[in-house]
Structure 1
């Protein structure tokens, strides 16, 4: 009988040129380039890299950014659909339906040529932030804010969310967030999406499959979980009792541990630096101090006492960044998807280019 690995842990399912992870050394690369080197680029450049396989030249980046800006807007019929949603605690429900609706307005939805898929990829990357911001405003009965073509991908999202032009640091923080969220090999949503693509389903359907998988609290939903946890703790004075109480009761502490990384997630290190910078610019280190105290306590408990390699993951300090950007917790997973859509599209394109339907077997027990 062949060995069955629960959760497919350690199973290699396919070859990819899109990303590389070394969970022991704490290395993440997109298309062979370390995440630390990519974090200082624009999101447009990283999106181009993931989808097209190379860092764009100046002219290529200018043209790609122009096309994204031209496709940021959504039409009146889409906005009317957004108003009909019942808004709960998780905006990703609305985003999932909105992307499905957007597919109906795309004349190339069921065209599967490489050119049609490239066109659809532009529209998806461009419209995700507009839809997320419009969903948030619709939940308060407010009209969506038109995109500004002179703002970067991240800065424009923050503007559409609040109506305020972000500071240079806030815009930089949002760009980095989208870059750090853009790709991570065969995570659950990407694997689910590649299964959908392997059936030769269309690009929109595959992305919606990714959204449905991302929603889970053990995947993209963990970021919202960290934000909720910080609110629940309430103050730095409560951190020790809360954290040790969770450990004593063998309860999960959101934002710690990873299936792949056995050392510090390289994205977490970058997020921590961004969170610190935002705290200093705001003149309020409340959220950062609370998070750092949680990290110190758990480092002592996990690493020094138990010898367990459990470190902050990508969700921990990204939640702190969102606190300083005044991003509501219910938007956290949808914003994750805003960044990840470029990686998802890259995986769809790779699957289409050398396809075999993904169909594993199961043991009968």
Structure 2
């Protein structure tokens, strides 16, 4: 049997037409289109692209957006489920519970036909923001704000979260965040969702798998950790000392490094620019300057010690963007999921369309077994029968 690859690093598990990454050049494409070229589109168009496989024309986009707006209300039963949650939990836990309940109410729960899954897909994409905003308000003793059909996907989420309309810049940046978060090839949560789908389990179950996987601090949960880290640094000038202390104590600094990219993640520079725009609009550069100082300190230390630079990943500046958007840290991973749901659905739909159950092999290693190719017994040792 071949040598095992820990974490399946660089193992090609399947073929996909959903997205591609060039880790050497730092390029990310959705359905063959550079992610940078999608940022001036509404999230609805990118969601359609990922799930349906092509960019919508004007009429298709209008119909899809109207469908999503129609499906936004979560319903009183789902809101009542959220009211029973432990309010000290992350929003991801409440989202998982709400989606599980939603599945109970779907008469086509176990129908994996394309038609049924496209209907479920619209329901999930539309309701994710409503559920997360509602949980956040219920947890602080406020009533949920009903969706506003006049607002875009990003603007409506901020409106439901706050109870007031966001600025044009805030709405635009929230929309861009959802687009940048929407898809990233075989990341852990997308692969986990595909594994569930490959068993021909239902779409809700596959999406719940994605939610559970994204929650981990080594995946989407890193955004919340970045937000908490920024708050630990009193002033931007303390950033380098903070970094040096963390490294001296062998503590991980969240938001840096990536398994796939050997250069900067193409999304990082975009999020950095968005963070700066928000900082300037607020007249408060503190969090942005703190982040930039952390980035510079880590780059300097790693380059000096290892002669290899290390770059911030997508979670770093997106966490700072969330701070400027007044998104509570415990919502950070769930907000990531609002964007990523379209990518998860696309992967599940692709898996269903040409399925083979995903079942890799493991290399058995007995505890205390000597290295491979080394004899179990010394040639000089006699075997007593």
- Equivalents in 2 of 1:79, 1:297: separation in Å? 45
How far did 1:238 drift?
1.9
- Equivalents in 2 of 1:105, 1:144: separation in Å? 21
Q: Counterpart of 2:4?
A: 4
- In the superposition, the TM-score normalised over structure 2's length comes to 0.93
Confirm whether residue 104 of structure 1 aligns to residue 81 of structure 2.
no
- Equivalents in 2 of 1:45, 1:243: separation in Å? 40
- Equivalents in 2 of 1:33, 1:347: separation in Å? 17
- In the superposition, the TM-score normalised over structure 1's length comes to 0.98
How far did 1:246 drift?
1.3
Instruction: Report if the CA contact (8 A) 1:265-1:313 is conserved.
Output: yes
Instruction: Report if the CA contact (8 A) 2:246-2:253 is conserved.
Output: yes
- Equivalents in 1 of 2:19, 2:66: separation in Å? 26
Instruction: Report if the CA contact (8 A) 1:92-1:211 is conserved.
Output: yes
3-state secondary structure, aligned to 1:254:
coil
How far did 1:89 drift?
4.3
Gaps of 5+ in 2: 366-385
Q: Counterpart of 2:160?
A: 160
Q: Counterpart of 2:377?
A: none
3-state secondary structure, aligned to 2:311:
coil
3-state secondary structure, aligned to 2:159:
helix
**Structure 1 residues 40-59: aligned runs within 5 Å:** 40-59=40-59
- Equivalents in 1 of 2:192, 2:153: separation in Å? 26
Q: Counterpart of 1:349?
A: 349
Deviates more, 1:111-120 or 1:340-349: 111-120
How far did 1:303 drift?
3.0
Q: Counterpart of 2:190?
A: 190
Q: Counterpart of 2:240?
A: 240
Deviates more, 1:232-241 or 1:190-199: 232-241
Considering only CA atoms, is the larger Rg found in Structure 1 or Structure 2? 2
How many corresponding residue pairs? 365
Q: Counterpart of 2:267?
A: 267
How far did 1:251 drift?
1.7
Q: Counterpart of 1:320?
A: 320
- Equivalents in 1 of 2:178, 2:3: separation in Å? 38
Change (3 A) 1:329 1:148: same
Gaps of 5+ in 1: none
Q: Counterpart of 2:368?
A: none
Q: Counterpart of 2:229?
A: 229
Q: Counterpart of 1:123?
A: 123
- Equivalents in 2 of 1:198, 1:112: separation in Å? 11
- What CA deviation, in whole Å up to 9, does each residue of 1:208-254 have, x standing for no partner? 00001111100010010100111112321321111011122222111
3-state secondary structure, aligned to 1:20:
strand
How far did 1:286 drift?
0.9
- What CA deviation, in whole Å up to 9, does each residue of 1:23-44 have, x standing for no partner? 1110000000011111221100
Q: Counterpart of 2:28?
A: 28
Q: Counterpart of 1:76?
A: 76
- What CA deviation, in whole Å up to 9, does each residue of 1:306-365 have, x standing for no partner? 322310100000011001000000000001111000000000000000000001111111
Instruction: Report if the CA contact (8 A) 1:28-1:266 is conserved.
Output: yes
How far did 1:143 drift?
1.1
